[in-house]
Amino acid sequence: MAPSAVPYQQGWPQPRELDHENLLQVTEEFAAASRRAFDAGFKVLEAHFAHGYLLHQFLSPLSNRRTDEFGGSLENRARFPLMVIRAMRAAWPAHLPLFVRLSVVDWADGGLDLDESLTLASWLKEAGVDLVDCSSGSVVPKEKIPLSPGYHAPFARQIRERTGMATGVVGLIFDPTLASALIQDGSADFIFLARAMLRDPYWPRTAAAVLQATNDIDIPTQYRWALERSL
């Protein structure tokens, strides 16, 4: 299922366009998943508006070719994702944070851009979202992504400064010094790690040693010498 019956690229399956009844059903499924997450003991919830997943597909004019009230203008393209967020916020306790991972830009001509994402971030804030986790791309195959460590940080800074929304940043952040600098210079409130943690599950302790902050984290006494002494 998708906003429009448009395959990702030639040779891929053609999805079925969601009708209004489907949209209501999917919205309720997101709300039900939110309730299950709370019942399971989770304390933070994140909705995925990025990387070609369904809600990103609605936001991007590259994948959303609809001509009804859920397609065309940004307001229309955001209508269904905002329905989902409001349903999730209603199902998720008010005192617990709700995040959105957002592909801020599509890195392709005619796609979602920073100006639209700034407007969307304001709408998300009004809908009860607490933080935008800034990523990008992955909705069309021919993207031109300028990869470099922390390359989403300028997007996170713009959203943070211009909307007042808390932000997180992800993207080739392996170096603890870079991670710390992005927090210190006001680019973001949080650093999100994926491959860095898969490669090194002890990355937070490694980072604490690099940043000389081992006293700030809870480390078993038996482990401290391994982090604080080089010999």
Residues identified as active-site: 53
Q: Which of 45, 58, 183 is nearest to 116 (CA)?
A: 58
- Given a contact cutoff of 8 angstroms between Cβ atoms, the answer to whether 127 and 86 are in contact is yes
- Given a contact cutoff of 8 angstroms between Cβ atoms, the answer to whether 166 and 134 are in contact is no
- Given a contact cutoff of 8 angstroms between Cβ atoms, the answer to whether 42 and 93 are in contact is no
Q: What's the N-to-C CA distance of the chain in angstroms?
A: 57
Count of CB atoms within 10 A of residue 149's CB?
13
